[in-house]
A and B are shown apart, each in its own frame.
Chain A
Amino acid sequence: MNDWLYWITTGATIIAGFVITCGLAQTTVYLLQLLLAAMALSSRPPVARATLLWRRYSDVAPPVALVVPAYNEEMNVVESVRSLLSLEYPAYEVIVVNDGSRDATLDRLKEAYQLRLVTRPYEEALSHAPIRGIYASQLSNRLFVVDKDNGGKADAQNAGINVSRAPLFCVIDADSILEPDALLRAVHPFVDDPVRTIAVGGTIRIANGSEVSGGRVSNVRLPRKLLPLLQIVEYLRAFLMTRLAWSRINTLMLVSGAFGIFRRREAVEVGGFTKGSMGEDLDFIVKLHRHMRDNDRDYRIEFIPEPVCWTEAPESLDVLGRQRSRWQRGSLEVFFRYRSMLFNPRYGRIGFLGFGHIFLVDVIGPVIEVLGYILMPAFWLLGILALDYLLAFTALVFTYGVFISVMSLILEEVELRRFPRARDLVILTGAAVLENFGYRQINNYWRLKGMWQYARGGSEWGQMTRKGFAKQTK
């Protein structure tokens, strides 16, 4: 009997040791990121007014093709395209890819922009589901619509890349709102370091609660609902801390699919986006890193902290949960697909920091956190851990969580200051505290669910049906 208890306690202690080690590793990574992000922000290129940007870059900015995959977007595709056609950029074209929508997406476009079927020769550089036709608009010489069989988001993006002729392309979601000067700002690294820059990502912000008029976010406000508010704190942390920090040391692992600019040549070299991928944006960047490092080429994947793209965040637990489970599956998928890069000295920082971070946060993170929640009280019940310690540990975990969130709020406030009122800051602070009680745990549950789905899905890989993409997030 005693023997049995002994083994349980030893086992539990070992697991606890593991949990604590991982926790410490995560803590260190966060601190490192904070430091790097602060450095990056303090030395970032100056934010200029649009007229100044125009004067500075309009003569030398390379042409860009906007690739906009659309699946069942009949509700807002016309409006989205309209706002894309009025961006401030000297030379760009908009290529909407209708990914075999089952609703009237194509008809709406045809009607609104007087599309007519054209022949547009293009190179079959990337493979994708067959294109049924390419349309040009009689209203704008900048708009093209590619109509193709359904093949998923990555497939649609590949088709768009094929048809594009500009040296750079920009992928955006059909349901997000771009700042009018987004392209001009984001193209900056391609102008200033044209040899090495192969990809640039921008900050995605949550538009819930803000006033949107005329296809632009006109008045930035905090959402009234709790769930989007908590996501705002989350996004600030993800973009202003993690991505900025990793970009500073050229280890950026993710350029969001909602807004990213890429050099076409390298994108084609790696075979475009991986089809049937859950997290095709993460997958793509990892592929680019691997490709460039395998070929010993000097390159940069940059991130610019100015908000360039606004998106509507899910407002219901149900939808948010599905989104998070899907993100989790995406991370796992990429992690296991490119697992040979983990801690592989050949890939340097990408292998150690980038992949290490994915491993720590996305692969074992959710498990560790749950183990922590279970073990700590269990130890106390078993009498291994005194109540005092239990409380102290718990307090530490939570105050540290709050601390990290608050630090990313500092980055926002000192450098970007996009929330207009002082009151917003107080509310955000509240959200940063609140986030640790409940939201963080639910999030963790969704991620575990994602892991479970991934583990189960692995066996039935072949017959995965593609339902398209956009509306799953809605």
Chain B
Amino acid sequence: MTEKTKILICDDDPLLLELVEYKLKAKGYLVIRAENGEDALIAMAAEKPDLVVLDAMMPMLDGFEVLRHIKQHPDFAQMPVVMLTARKSEKDIVSALDRGADDYLVKPFIPDELLARISRLLAARR
């Protein structure tokens, strides 16, 4: 593979975007950023990323709805989605997994754990 693996991160907290982008780039991934759910969908259609990291509470479309869009779309249904959110209630976690989220991490998070889970999901797909 000559092309780098593309990861889309979607969160309305600019600092989180900075941090995750930095970490991912250090691991050699290509990173696309989106600050709200609608931008995420647009970026997804345009860039066709290999994996998405999604926040739950965002303007316009919240993460759960973006997740549903992804999982219902024939082109994207197979793409792994990692939820990264401050919502930690059982109900939210279960509902996200029900809708097809491939992983769920609660903020505050362990950056290395996020990286490990991302590479595991990507490896599983190949």
Give chain A's interface residues, CB within 8 Å of chain B.
Answer: 51, 54, 58, 82-83, 85-88, 90-91, 139-141, 180, 214-216
Contact = CB atoms under 8 A, between A and B. Distances in A.
A216 B86 contact: no
Contact of A86 (B13, B37, B68, B89): B37
Interface string B56-90: 01111110110010000000000000000011010
Interface residues of B, number: 18
B57 A180 contact: yes
Interface in B1-58: 12-13, 36-38, 57-58
A51 B13 CA distance: 9
Given A51-B13, A54-B86, A214-B36, A87 B61 contact: no
A90 B91 CA distance: 11
B95 interface: yes
Contact of B57 (A86, A141, A215): A86
A87 B89 CA distance: 16
Contacts of B57: 86-88, 180
Which of A86, A141, A214, A215 has the largest count of B CB atoms less than 10 A from its CB? Answer: A86
Contacts of A88: 57
Given A82-B60, A87-B57, A141-B95, 15 more contacts: A51-B13, A51-B86, A58-B86, A83-B59, A83-B60, A85-B65, A86-B37, A86-B60, A90-B89, A91-B89, A139-B65, A140-B65, A180-B12, A214-B59, A215-B60
Contacts, number: 37
B87 A86 contact: no
The CB with the most chain B CB atoms within 10 A, among A58, A90, A180, A214, is that of A214
B55 to A, nearest CB: 10
Contacts of B59: 83, 86, 180, 214-216
A82 B12 CA distance: 16
Of B38, B58, B59, chain A has the most CB atoms within 10 Å of the CB of B59
Nearest to A58: B86
A395 B66 CA distance: 60
27 contacts: A51-B13, A54-B86, A58-B86, A82-B60, A83-B59, A83-B60, A85-B62, A85-B65, A86-B37, A86-B57, A86-B58, A86-B60, A86-B61, A86-B62, A87-B57, A88-B57, A90-B87, A90-B89, A91-B89, A139-B68, A140-B64, A140-B65, A180-B12, A180-B57, A180-B59, A215-B59, A216-B59
Contacts of B89: 90-91
A8 to B, nearest CB: 65
A88 B38 CA distance: 17
A61 to B, nearest CB: 12
Contact of B38 (A91, A141, A214): A214
Nearest to B39: A214
A50 to B, nearest CB: 9
A336 B87 CA distance: 48
B91 to A, nearest CB: 8
Contacts of A86: 37, 57-62
A90 B92 CA distance: 9
List the 7 closest pairs (A to B, CB-CB), nearest first: A86-B62, A214-B59, A214-B60, A88-B57, A214-B36, A216-B59, A215-B60
A82 B68 CA distance: 14
B62 to A, nearest CB: 4
A41 to B, nearest CB: 29
A141 B89 CA distance: 14
A113 to B, nearest CB: 10
A185 to B, nearest CB: 15
Nearest to B57: A88
Contacts of B86: 51, 54, 58
A91 B13 CA distance: 21
Contacts of A82: 60-61
A180 B60 CA distance: 10
A87 B57 CA distance: 7
Contacts of B95: 141
A51 B37 CA distance: 19
A140 B68 CA distance: 10
A141 B61 CA distance: 14
A444 to B, nearest CB: 41
B34 to A, nearest CB: 11
B68 to A, nearest CB: 6
A82 B62 CA distance: 8
Contacts of A141: 95
B88 to A, nearest CB: 8
A141 B98 CA distance: 12
A87 B86 CA distance: 13
Nearest to A89: B57
A216 B58 CA distance: 10
